[in-house]
Amino acid sequence: MLAIEEISKTFGGVRALSEVSLSCGAGEILGLIGPNGAGKSTLVNVISGVVTPDKGAITLAGGDIGAMATEGRARAGVARTFQNIKLFKDLTVRQNVEVAHITCVSARRDVAATIDIDTLLERYGLAALADLAAGTLAYGAQRRLELVRALALGPVLLLLDEPAAGLNELESEALAEAIEDIRATVGCAVIVIDHDLGFINRLCDRLCVMDQGRVIADGGTEDVWSNPKVIEVYVGTSTAHSAH
Ligand SMILES: Nc1ncnc2c1ncn2[C@@H]1O[C@H](COP(=O)(O)OP(=O)(O)OP(=O)(O)O)[C@@H](O)[C@H]1O
Ligand SMILES: [Mg+2]
């Protein structure tokens, strides 16, 4: 589904991404983790077209999307949420979702026809809030709206940058269920970034661990958590040694 090959990106003197290669299949939930500044958001920004890489290739369902602008990628089904919520705050909840749906209609009318906005609002607890300005919603509801807006795009690939940040335990459990439900019903590829490792371990089939712009581990959850490089990054060398 998604294949990225040898992506590099430097901001001034900072090497945010260094020869990063990664793939994600349809129906797969991939957790992208790593310490602050590892390059996770930059990678998601490169995939969605917000940041232009210095080198590397990106293909979605076999098609090269590397040269497309953000809008083109959205029409192709690359949907995302942001680390810092980016809604149209003055538009209503419903209008926020409609804007995404219109984008889908313009590019993939057949997919758009399968998406019912009222059903989505109902399913994610936003029906009663549909006519309120998005900016007036409580934080948890704004996060849900971002997700619903991404779903209205008919995602082929769904990118979630720290969706559980700032949610309480109950809310993040509900979010994990919602993402599992999306995998089952939409069948898209999902890449989810989060620092809440309980949330990530519960949700993901596969983990990709980044550190200082590089992928240091990629595989099943158990394999990744027993990888010495990952232990070193998460626990620290001296602590890891003293534990033996
Ligand atoms: N637009 C930018 N301009 C300059 N430097 C940037 C820019 N975006 C990211 N960086 C730098 O690139 C590196 C990777 O940042 P990125 O935001 O991708 O990390 P992250 O893994 O998402 O971290 P966090 O977990 O804190 O969100 C950091 O050193 C960051 O300061
Ligand atoms: Mg980030």
Domain limits, the chain: 1-68+196-244
Confidence of residue 195 (pLDDT cuts 50, 70, 90): very high
Give the rounded percent of residues in the chain with a pLDDT score beyond 70: 97
Is residue 238 scored above 60 in pLDDT? no
pLDDT more than 90, % of the chain: 95
As given in the structure block, the two tokens for residue 231 are 């232990």
Q: What is the mean pLDDT of residues 39-47?
A: 98
Helix (H, G, I), strand (E, B) or coil at 234: helix
Q: Are the CB atoms for 39 and 17 separated by under 8 Å? A: yes
Mean pLDDT of the region 110-138: 96
Pocket probe for ligand 1: among 7, 15, 20, 42, the residue whose CB has the most ligand atoms within 8 Å is 42
Question: What residue owns the CA closest to ligand 1's atom 30?
Answer: 37
Residue nearest atom 26 of ligand 1, based on CA coordinates: 36
Model confidence at 244: pLDDT above 60: no
List the 214-220 sheet strands across, edge first.
78-81, 157-161, 189-193, 29-33, 206-211, 214-220
Contact 14 CB / ligand 1 (< 6 Å): yes
**What superfamily would CATH give domain 1-68+196-244?**
P-loop containing nucleotide triphosphate hydrolases (3.40.50.300)
Q: Is the CB of 196 under 6 A from ligand 1?
A: no
Averaged confidence pLDDT in the chain: 94
What is the enclosing helix (H) or strand (E) of 73? helix 70-75
pLDDT of 72 higher than 60: yes
Interatomic CA distance for residues 69 and 51, integer angstroms = 10
Amino acid making up residue 11: F
CA 210 to chain centre: 15
**How far is ligand 1, taken at its centre, from the CA of residue 14, in Å?**
9
